[in-house]
Chain A
Amino acid sequence: MILRIVLSVAIVAALACVPLLLPDAYVNAAIQMLIAALFATAFGYLCGQGGMLSFGHSAYFGLGAFAAIHAMNAVGGEGLLPTPLIPVFGAAAGLAFGLLAGWFATKRSGVYFSMITLAIAELVHALAPHLKETFGGEGGVSTFRMPAWGISFGASGDVYWLALAWTVLCVGLLYLLTRTPFGRMTVGLRENTHRMKFIGYEVHRPSAMVFAISGMVAGVAGALQSINIEAANYVVFETSVSSAVVLNSFIGGVRVFFGPAIGGALMSFFGYVTADMTRSWLLYQGLIFVLVMMFLPRGVVGEIVFRLQGGEEERRALRPGTLAVSAVGVLCGAAGVVLLVEIAQRLFAEAYPGAAGGWPPVTVGGVDWSPLSPVTWLLPALLIAVSVAIFLRGRWRDRAAGAAARSEEATR
């Protein structure tokens, strides 16, 4: 317990030092990572704790963003609600709409629930452009951060600290919530709603409440985004916002509390880093997601936690040697796929002359690749083959070791 508190404080302290150590561009990226982590935590709370898979979380994020924008324009960062407290409006908007939508959505479960959340988000998405006064039409709504509490909020460091404070507050409170009776009731809903009814639980109200809390935290994340970019546009209601949070959270792993946050932060970091290098980031994101769903169904963080807590057999994958081999496999595979995708992307690009203009080489990673040279295609193929071989070997070994352990147990 004490170790945990010390560790948490250390992590927060380290995060707080980011603006002092890194250049501005990276601080901006870090702000986006915090927002993505908070948003993913909100989604993960609903999905991992409450067992409700929402495909429409953009609605709560977006409403939070617009609530914050309008609050900033109306209050002007003065009085009782200065800039640092603006996310309260995002929270209120997310909570209110979350209660309404959650009331409908949680009347059903499973696939139906998912479809209702998607439909509600699409409804908001389709309506937003028609409500120009609220959502500002094509141009969106913009605002300015006002100084407050002696802080100018002009530098990105100030915004970072604001975002960090809110993220830590919300994630921390949600985490504590999971350890209360209400939190235990929530996992009961996830595990077996039917049984809950027969031990005396009315399940609709708590489900709607969990949904609303998730919407509230998503609203805070949206508000932080508005504060950060000083604008909001109805683009925040797009399906891609909802899908990104689903992908990120499951890549991290929704069953461990901090899985979605880590997934969200990492994926948003990769997105930021690769934004200038590739046009295919979304494809990579999709590929990572599908691979994780197929081979690491617990998610990346979930798998690590599972292995750390497991017995000898689970821990075997964490030995330095095994880990190094796995890393080589992952890197080879990633390099092969990226090379292939990037070469293909340039070949299919409109600027490429194709057959008519001959087959000039394309440049990827500073190297010219001729589409007619076998090396161009053999190298990525080889890299992928190495990766697959390493993976198959690992699986074969796992199986053999598992069988050996079982037979040993049997003879004992």
Chain B
Amino acid sequence: MTDPVLILDAVDKSFGEARIIRSVSLEVERGEKHAVIGPNGAGKSTLFHLCSGQLTPTKGRILLDGASIGGLPPHEVNHRGLARSFQITNIFPGLSVFENLRLSVLRRRRRNWVFWRGIAGLKETNRRTEEILAQVRLTARAHDLASALSYSEQRALEIGMTVASDPQVILLDEPMAGMSHEETAYAISLIREIAEGRTLMIVEHDMDVVFSLADRISVLVYGEIVATGTPERIRADARVREAYLGEEAA
């Protein structure tokens, strides 16, 4: 069954003396929902930064569809089909919700340098934006400023911006952080929907979310992957229980 779309091969990341990621190797299968869990400070966000071009690996290779993306600038990584969301909401606060999404679509459709036509005339771009707007259920708020949205709406907007790049691989960094129980349930269905036909990699602290959503789970502890497998296997893994779940239960 192996058709890995994203491959990390012995990836290392050090900041000065501190070795944050220690020889991580991981294969994310095409079309799967892969969760990365681990205690605080394990390096989950750093791992995402490495995959998305925010940081350059100190050692090792990162392959997307067979081509190396380690150390490429973020926009190049995006062009090759990997888009991400951020742990701390990262949107365009002073623009309308519609514009937030349209910026993403605009670039995807390579219309961003067009200076001879009005934006209103780009029918296909606007239509696609409406589509994503509906998908993340923000149509009613299309013309409000993004800064005026509620926290969970902003999280949905951020997921929408990520999907609007039409990537084959999506990285979501703690999309449910700070959400209420109801909001979380709603966000799970949203994520399921947008992940349809794509590969999803997600960092999440809420174990209910992780176990209900993920096809496979990798456990990262102190920069090392201690286990990768189906939710059942991870639940049963003694090392994981010791290193991570035990902590949670306590």
Q: Measuring CB to CB, which residues of chain A are less than 8 angstroms from any residue of chain B?
A: 176-177, 179-185, 187-188, 190-192, 194-203, 206
Contacts and interface: CB of A to CB of B under 8 A. Distances in A.
Contacts of B113: 181-182, 185, 206
Contact of A198 (B52, B94, B95): B52
A188 B103 contact: yes
Nearest to A192: B92
Interface in B70-100: 73-75, 78-79, 83-84, 86, 90-95, 99
B49 to A, nearest CB: 11
Nearest to A203: B75
Given A181-B111, A181-B112, A199-B164, A192 B91 contact: yes
Contacts of A177: 115
A156 B143 CA distance: 47
B90 A196 contact: no
A184 B78 contact: no
A404 B83 CA distance: 46
Nearest to A184: B119
A200 B118 contact: no
B216 interface: no
B73 A182 contact: no
23 contacts: A179-B118, A180-B116, A180-B118, A181-B106, A181-B113, A184-B102, A184-B103, A185-B113, A187-B92, A187-B94, A187-B99, A191-B95, A197-B74, A198-B53, A198-B84, A198-B86, A199-B78, A200-B83, A200-B107, A200-B108, A201-B75, A202-B75, A206-B112
Given A192-B92, A198-B78, A198-B84, A184 B164 contact: no
Nearest to B93: A191
Nearest to B161: A199
Nearest to A185: B112
B114 A191 contact: no
A194 B54 CA distance: 10
A194 B90 contact: yes
A196 B103 contact: yes
Nearest to B92: A191
Contact of A200 (B102, B120, B165): B165
Given A187-B95, A188-B92, A194-B90, A180 B119 contact: yes
Contacts of B108: 200
Contacts of B86: 198
A194 B120 CA distance: 26
A181 B75 contact: no
B111 A200 contact: no
A184 B90 contact: no
Contacts of A183: 115, 119
Contacts of A195: 90-92, 161
Nearest to B120: A179
A182 B115 contact: yes
**Which 10 pairs between the two chains have the least Cβ-Cβ distance?**
A200-B78, A191-B92, A182-B115, A197-B74, A181-B114, A200-B107, A199-B104, A185-B112, A188-B103, A181-B111
Contacts of A181: 106, 111-115, 117, 119, 122, 125
Contacts of B162: 199
